Amino acid sequence: EAACGPQSGLVADSLALLATAQQHTTAWDGPTTGPKASPGKLVVYVAQDMRNGGVLGVSQGVQSAAAAIGWKLKIIDGVGTVAGRVSAINQAVALKPDGIVLGSVDAQEEAAAIRAAAQQGIKIVGWHSAAAAGPVQDPPIFTNVTTEAVNVAKVAAAYALQTTNCTAGAVIFWQSGDAIGIKKAEMMRDVIKACGTCKVLDYVNTPLADTAARMPQNTTSLLQRFGAGWTVGLGINDLYFDFAAPALRTAGVASSGPPRFISAGDGSVAAFDRVRSGSYQIGTVAEPLHEAGWQLIDELNRALAGQPPSGYVAPVHLVTKDNIQFDGGPKNIYDPDNNYERHYKAVWGSTAR
């Protein structure tokens, strides 16, 4: 970032976050104290859609953590529809579990069903159920586990600055009706605008559900409009680039770009492949999906023991070609090398397997 010159305010703040986000994660900065394992509980994981890589990855973490703490787990798939999610929560409540884990199920959309579950004394935790980490008052969610969306966006945008020496010509891809996504997109736009020598060329609202149909045409038309002036594509999700990359290839753009893509979430398998092979995408801010699953089980154990949530928020991590050999990268997932399983088992005590 030396070529960017001295920076202040938002740009300096974002570049500082980026420096930390690019490091190999070895130190555990999560909880080291908490209640011992409550034995023999039943937990239900209600998935927004098990086809979604993030939702699936968290479910795998929840599964291994539930086995370690000695709990029974049932997974119910909301199959990506509102009706499916309502039915999944109702089925979960009917099982009379001790706890429910919401996997990317929006708290406000499902407020009535969540309130009904809470009224029966079921403890509820969420992953990506609200825009911010921590407790949700209404509907009552003991705690919501997520990285800080604003910091994810700052890191992605800062990497656009760093890799273009603060000359980014950026196009930002986002979708309406998605609180977390909008927050990320607006922050990326703010960082690019705060860099005086950068430009936001376009701010493109494309629903993630329509990427297959829309992104090839979007990409071709942006190339025609901006040519080599389009140096960076920033997206709220890797999915945009699944369909933009082939369109660039068809248009004869070299895999090293420009443009080059950076995603502000969540680190899909395809994104890891592109980053590793240097194929258009140079970075993805990946969520620690398995670790989040362990945190969700730990938070439920705190709720069942009548203790407050841990307050832990996992730090933001950017996967690039320079660090992809660490932290689960070879397996196409961000899984920090910080021994989180061992630390959580130590908190839960001797009953933990």
> What are the domain boundaries of the chain?
2-24+149-285, 42-146+288-313
Q: Using one digit for the tens of pLDDT, what is the confidence trace for 31-90?
A: 999 999 999 999 999 999 988 888 999 999 999 999 999 999 999 999 988 899 999 999
Which is it for strands 141-145 and 134-136: parallel, antiparallel or unpaired? antiparallel
What count of residues does the chain have? 353
**Topology of 2-24+149-285 in CATH?**
Rossmann fold (3.40.50)
Pairwise CA distance, residues 110 & 117, whole Å: 11
Which is it for strands 99-103 and 123-127: parallel, antiparallel or unpaired? parallel
pLDDT attached to residue 198: 97
Contact between 229 and 201 under an 8 Å Cβ cutoff? The reply is yes
Q: Using one digit for the tens of pLDDT, what is the confidence trace for 232-275?
A: 999 999 999 999 999 999 999 999 999 999 999 889 899 999 99
Per-residue pLDDT, averaged over 12-40, amounts to: 95
Q: Which residues contact 287 (CB under 8 A, 6 or more apart)?
A: 54, 57, 146, 147, 265, 266, 267, 314, 334
Per-residue pLDDT, averaged over 2-19, amounts to: 87
pLDDT attached to residue 9: 94
Average pLDDT of every residue of the chain: 94
- Residue among 197, 185, 132 nearest 161 (CA): 197
pLDDT attached to residue 350: 60
- Judged by DSSP in three states, 190 sits in helix
- Judged by DSSP in three states, 114 sits in helix
pTM: 0.90
Model confidence at 351, in pLDDT bands (50, 70, 90)? low
Q: Is 142 exposed, middle or buried (0-12, 13-18, 19+ CB in 10 A)?
A: buried
Q: Using one digit for the tens of pLDDT, what is the confidence trace for 34-51?
A: 999 999 999 999 999 988
Single-letter residue type at 236:
I
**Topology of 42-146+288-313 in CATH?**
Rossmann fold (3.40.50)
pLDDT attached to residue 3: 60
Q: Using one digit for the tens of pLDDT, what is the confidence trace for 294-318?
A: 999 999 999 999 999 999 999 999 9
Lowest mean pLDDT among 3-12, 70-79, 221-230: 3-12
Give yes or no for residue 1 having a pLDDT over 60: no
Pairwise CA distance, residues 320 & 22, whole Å: 8
Pairwise CA distance, residues 147 & 166, whole Å: 26
Pairwise CA distance, residues 12 & 52, whole Å: 34
**Distances in Å between the alpha carbon of 7 and those of 145, 160, 191, 353?**
32, 15, 12, 50
Give yes or no for residue 231 having a pLDDT over 70: yes
Give yes or no for residue 131 having a pLDDT over 50: yes
Domains 2-24+149-285 and 42-146+288-313 equal at CATH topology level: yes
Q: Using one digit for the tens of pLDDT, what is the confidence trace for 317-329?
A: 999 999 999 999 9
pLDDT attached to residue 352: 53
Give yes or no for residue 5 having a pLDDT over 90: no
